[in-house]
Amino acid sequence: MSIRLCQECCQWVSTRDGRCPDCQDVLPEAIDPAESDTGFRAIVGEVRGRMGHVRVSRRKLPTDGILYMTSSGLFFLPYRSVTRRRLVEQSATSPFWTIAAVLWSPLMFLSPFLRRRELREKDFVEHEPIRLGKDDLQLLPEFLSRVPGAFFVSIRNIRSIRQKRNRWIIDRSFGSSVTIQPIADGPFAQEMQQFLETRL
Ligand SMILES: [Zn+2]
């Protein structure tokens, strides 16, 4: 199983046989992002603004990210994974003393003194939004080939968008439907409504 970019469908996919599950194209293991930038810029169009933080229902690909509205469709930019080193408290009892204390009971009396806490560095993987300033918004298309999990759904490929409770289901003419759900407070529903009224 690998994660690859389908330039035809403007989406990263999880694939077992190296083909895009939607268009069946054979996908190269790696692409040169610079080569695809011009094409993606033309497809994505002008970035109109941020709609909000959303969760995409899918497996094996990043689920949380930010949805943007563009002149040609909807762009999903997943959160990035960052490894952070933090100090955590750990018990520093040596296994030798633990075993010795079990085998020889007088040592049990001493064990609280042998057990001490110490701080150790540990790596944690965290997910955080990629923040784009107003001036950087037009760089969005370039993230498509550089951030695994990003995708773009063009207006031409949207058959319908329906709301089901707090989820929005985007039915595509080509490819499987995409279900998204806002994960932060904000005017996401109004933004989506505006997109439906003005773009579709
Ligand atoms: Zn495809």
Q: 10-residue block means of pLDDT along the chain (200 residues)? A: 95 96 94 93 95 95 96 97 89 69 67 70 92 92 96 96 94 94 90 88
pTM for the predicted model, two decimal places: 0.83
Type of residue at 190: Q
CATH 2.30.29.30 fits 34-79+129-199, yes or no: yes
Separation of 193 CA from ligand 1 center, angstroms?
28
Separation of 6 CA from ligand 1 center, angstroms?
5
* Domain residue limits, the chain: 34-79+129-199, 84-124
Q: Please give the Cα distance from 185 to 53 (Å, whole number).
A: 9
Separation of 16 CA from ligand 1 center, angstroms?
14
Separation of 198 CA from ligand 1 center, angstroms?
27
How do residues 93-144 score in pLDDT, each as one tens digit?
667 767 776 677 666 666 666 666 788 899 999 999 998 998 999 999 999 9
Separation of 150 CA from ligand 1 center, angstroms?
13
50 within 8 A of 65, measured Cβ to Cβ: no
